[in-house]
Structure 1
Amino acid sequence: MSRILRTNPSPVLSTAVEYHGFVFTQGVVARDLSQDIDGQTRDVLAQLDELLEHHGTDNTRLLQAQIWLKDINDRDALNKHWTAWLPENQAPARACVQAVLADPRMLVEIMLVTTK
């Protein structure tokens, strides 16, 4: 049986789950919810870098991204940081939708699937 590695498991979720060389992240939100969309997006991407590095991978190995925005009108601001963060010609399959997030101060949440 293959081993499943769960990072920071809680009764509700794990920060990430690794299985057969795939890494599935939690939905990551900004640590400081007082920031605007630019600040929150930068923080989320930095956290994702840390999480991927912890699992021995990086943003060159992305397969899929799911992005939730409080306001879809923030998509251009998100994309400015997203495209700067992604290696050239390495964009994953992606969905980006407007959603009601768990805390009204949350402006963006990103979840990734990657491989090692």
Structure 2
Amino acid sequence: MSKILRTNPNPILSAAVEYHGFVFTQGVVARDLEQDVEGQTRDVLEQLDTLLEQHGTDKTRLLQAQIWLKDINDRDKLNNLWSVWLPEGQAPARACVQGILADPRMLVEIMLVTTK
């Protein structure tokens, strides 16, 4: 049976789960919720880089992204930063939707699936 590696587990979630060479991240939100959507997006992408690195992978290995925005009108701002963050020609399958997030100050949440 293959080992399942859980990073920073708590009673309701893990920061990431690794299984059979796949890495599934939690929905990552900004640490400073007083920032605007661009500031929050930069922070989330930075956190995702770190989390993927902890699992021996990076954004060149992305398979899927799920993105939630508090306001879908912020999609262009998010996409500007997302496009710069992604390696050229390495865009994953992606969904980007408006949603009610856990804290009204949260403006963006991103969850990834990648491989090693």
Decide: shared fold, TM above 0.5: yes
Spell out the pairing of 1:42-53 with structure 2 (5 A cutoff): 42-53=42-53
* Partner of residue 6, structure 1: 6
Which residues of structure 2 form unaligned runs of 5+? none
What letter corresponds to residue 52 of structure 1 in structure 2?
L
Once the 2 structures are TM-superposed, how far is the Cα of residue 11 of structure 1 from its aligned partner?
A: 0.5
* Partner of residue 109, structure 2: 109
* Partner of residue 25, structure 2: 25
Secondary structure (helix, strand or coil) at the match of 2:67 reads strand
Aligned Cα RMSD in Å? 0.2
C-alpha distance after superposition, 1:59-89 (max 9, x if no partner):
0000000000000000000000000000001
- The TM-score with structure 1 as length reference comes to 1.00
* Partner of residue 16, structure 1: 16
What letter corresponds to residue 107 of structure 1 in structure 2?
L
Aligned length: 116
What letter corresponds to residue 83 of structure 1 in structure 2?
S
* Partner of residue 81, structure 1: 81
1:66 aligns with 2:66: yes
* Partner of residue 54, structure 2: 54
C-alpha distance after superposition, 1:25-61 (max 9, x if no partner):
0000000000001100000000000000000000000
- The TM-score with structure 2 as length reference comes to 1.00
Secondary structure (helix, strand or coil) at the match of 1:29 reads coil
Which residues of structure 1 form unaligned runs of 5+? none
Alpha-carbon distance in structure 1 between the residues aligned to 2:49 and 2:11: 25
* Partner of residue 41, structure 1: 41
Alpha-carbon distance in structure 2 between the residues aligned to 1:63 and 1:46: 18
Instruction: Flag as ranges the 4+ runs of structure 1 deviating above 4 A.
Output: none
Among the aligned pairs, what percent are the same residue? 84
